[in-house]
Copies of this chain bind each other. A is one copy, B any other.
Amino acid sequence: MVKRDEVARRAGVSAAVVSYVMNNGPRPVADATRQRVLAAVEELGYRPNGVARALRSRRTWSIGLVVPDNSNPFFAQLAHAIEDETFARGYSLLVGNASGDAARVESYLRTFQDRQVDGLIVVTNGPTEDLARTYEGRVPLVIVVDQPVRGLAASTVKVDNKEGARLATEHLVSHGFTRIACIAGPRDSAPGRERYEGWQTALRAAGLAAPDSLVRWAEFSLRGGAEAVRELLDSSPAPEAVFAATDLQAIGALRGTADAGVSVPDGLAIVGFDGIAEAEYTVPRLATVRQPVGLMGRRAVELLFRENGGDQVHEVFPLTLVSRGTCGCPER
């Protein structure tokens, strides 16, 4: 590996000048000298060692991202937005999947901090107690999707889950359904709980009952949705409509409904939550509450790098109800 001193020798300058040229500063360099250095860099194929650079400058140009599971389209789309923004700013992303394992989150959080990342973004959909224990507070942290976490100096980016769920459910009510079920998330997930509460709120506002028999606490997965809807359809009286806490569950529910020989939306209307790309391509198309995932991802990165790093910001993004075939609205 060719290193700085070889370039300096070749260009007939000191090591410092090579550095000044590579970094465009902090000292100016005469144009003729700069050209000589750049020529030497080119000829030798010199590339500065990022590790040495990071050690000396105390800046790694990397940020750590922990997501629950990048195989979940919602998180994949969010991660992609985050990556676009970090790439545009010249940062690299260290990525870790929680894969439903709290110890793994902790491990990644520690490792990333040991690697001296310049910032940390954690996307959570489950319990967050461990976070406060593992986060050392040395670099900025932004939490996406979940609530502000107690005792943690972190900004957050989220949507109003309860309100979104309320909107979705209200829409089902407006279709005239009275037995509207809820496929909720795991009980230890804040978004899961909040979306359940929104469903409850909407039903009560409409003067409808929201009994436990209409609720299934399921995993945030295709299978979770499929199994939950089967149980709901097997109960009697069966629901006429269902609000699912995530699109993934809703798509699973679409499948489970077909398995039960029930048609959508006539036999069962369905509304999901998230607005993932796949929801536009189901048959029938999935009605959903769309999160502005691109905006949220980009904003998370902005918050991480904002000048005034001291104060925490808690941003709540707007939700859009998207009615499509599965809720009983005409397609298109």
Segment 105-131 of A: residues with Cβ below 8 Å from B = 107-108, 110-116
Task: Give 11 CB contacts A-B under 8 Å.
Answer: A47-B110, A50-B116, A51-B51, A69-B80, A71-B76, A84-B99, A87-B96, A222-B277, A226-B281, A255-B285, A258-B284
Task: Decide if A95 is an interface residue (CB 8 Å cutoff).
Answer: yes
| Copies of this chain held together in the complex | 2
User: With A71-B76, A94-B92 as given contacts, are A251 and B114 in contact (CB-CB < 8 Å)?
Assistant: no
User: With A71-B73, A71-B277, A254-B281 as given contacts, are A51 and B47 in contact (CB-CB < 8 Å)?
Assistant: no
Task: Decide if A55 is an interface residue (CB 8 Å cutoff).
Answer: yes
A93-B94, A251-B281 given; name 18 further pairs at CB < 8 Å: A49-B55, A49-B116, A52-B55, A71-B77, A71-B277, A73-B73, A83-B97, A84-B97, A87-B96, A92-B94, A94-B94, A94-B95, A222-B281, A254-B283, A255-B282, A255-B283, A258-B283, A283-B283
Does B93 contact A96, Cβ atoms closer than 8 Å?
yes
Q: Identify whether the interface residues of A are mostly helix, strand, loop, or mixed.
A: helix
Task: Decide if A188 is an interface residue (CB 8 Å cutoff).
Answer: no
Interface size on A, residues (CB 8 A): 56
User: With A83-B97, A92-B111 as given contacts, are A138 and B1 in contact (CB-CB < 8 Å)?
Assistant: yes
Question: What are the residues of chain B within 8 A of A155 when measuring CB–CB?
Answer: none
